[in-house]
Homo-oligomer: A and B are copies of this chain.
């Protein structure tokens, strides 16, 4: 009989407590699946006194994450404290240098220090598993690292932040503003008091950098991701998108182009019929385009104690079974540098919403300016101006929305065309521009 895998857990919040419970309740199944027992032998957290509803008798209490990482009784160090730096970083490094395996749900840490930690894991022979860091229980890391090991990936993209998708879903379904939906999300606990990390796209960018590394063999680097959040999106955009057969999602997209790997996070129009467009509320989804095979889409909970704990325990079971995959799929020394893609060179379709001062003249001007940049239009929608008041008298003409969908063109060309239109003074305010991603 193989000796059981001895697990130490640093961090006993919702996820940590759920992991302790799962290992307890699923003990027999885990042993059958792993070929050896898995047991929690030591834990640590900020407060020992806090009530957690856990029976921790027989489990040692380490005086610090560092002490737990050093504990010679531990085979597998599970980091569930969070935070992109110490104490998580140094404790994980200590554990890896001692030859232990590490499981973490900490996306920020992996996005920032993943390379350094993977180097330590490879050097000392331990595993570094982080399935829960992206898409919680959705097995997206395992799919990219192992399930598509024989497939050249051309694009990986997804809805990686439940808060943003919740907000966009409610804005679309109820015609509410971004601010109203954000407030509701905060009230319901879907958004933080300081929502910037979520709604400005940084959370998505960290997760995307991890996925891109696994898919394309790039060095994980949040700084290589172009980031744009959802705060500029209006209910009018969502309504226009719907009428044209699209839906707006905050996507993280990593794609192989002729100019290199492009990593970007921004509000995106996706065809309503695409699997990713069906994903509503706090649910996450990742779509993967592999060479020569139709897209694969994985949909599920992107957060939550139970879902995160499920992924953490699966990672622990992989350690127990002796699986030692390269953390980023390939040896760290083979990972390639990646630079932030210059978005002015991005090519794709665009949604453009303008407020025309005077419909007849503006349409002609816009058409001319787009043609000068060789931009072709897939569709154009001019809203009927509400030209008469309730008494039937003609009203003073007010700006009228004009909505354009372009065929694939470069972002540069779009910017040049719109700058010219603005110089022509035929529109009021700034044009709204949203990139289109086709499936």
Within 8 A of B (CB), among A166-199: none
Within 8 A of B (CB), among A118-173: 131, 136-139, 142-143, 145-152
Contact A138 B296 (CB under 8 A): yes
- Do A34 and B139 contact each other (CB < 8 Å), given the known contacts A294-B301, A296-B299? no
- Do A143 and B139 contact each other (CB < 8 Å), given the known contacts A275-B278, A294-B307, A299-B296? yes
- Do A318 and B146 contact each other (CB < 8 Å), given the known contacts A278-B275, A294-B304, A326-B33? yes
Number of residues of chain A lying within 8 A (CB) of chain B: 64
Contact A293 B304 (CB under 8 A): yes
In the assembled complex, which residues on chain B have CB atoms less than 8 Å from the CB atom of A148?
137, 139, 310, 314
Residue on B with the closest CB to A277? B278
Main SS class of interface, A: mixed
Contact A30 B150 (CB under 8 A): yes
In the assembled complex, which residues on chain B have CB atoms less than 8 Å from the CB atom of A16?
none
Contact B150 A26 (CB under 8 A): yes
- Do A150 and B23 contact each other (CB < 8 Å), given the known contacts A322-B322, A330-B32? yes
Instruction: For residue A52, give the distance in angstroms from its CB to the closest CB of chain B.
Output: 17
In the assembled complex, which residues on chain B have CB atoms less than 8 Å from the CB atom of A278?
275, 278
Question: For the complex, is A385 an interface residue (Cβ under 8 Å from B)?
Answer: no
Kindly name the residue among A145, A300, A321, A329 whose own CB sees the greatest number of chain B CB atoms within 10 A. A300
In the assembled complex, which residues on chain B have CB atoms less than 8 Å from the CB atom of A299?
275, 296-299
The listed residue (B149, B309, B316, B322) touching A30 by CB distance below 8 A is B149
Instruction: For residue A330, give the distance in angstroms from its CB to the closest CB of chain B.
Output: 4
Contact B137 A290 (CB under 8 A): yes
- Smallest CB-CB A-B distances: 10 pairs: A150-B313, A139-B147, A296-B300, A292-B306, A149-B317, A294-B301, A32-B330, A297-B299, A293-B307, A151-B310
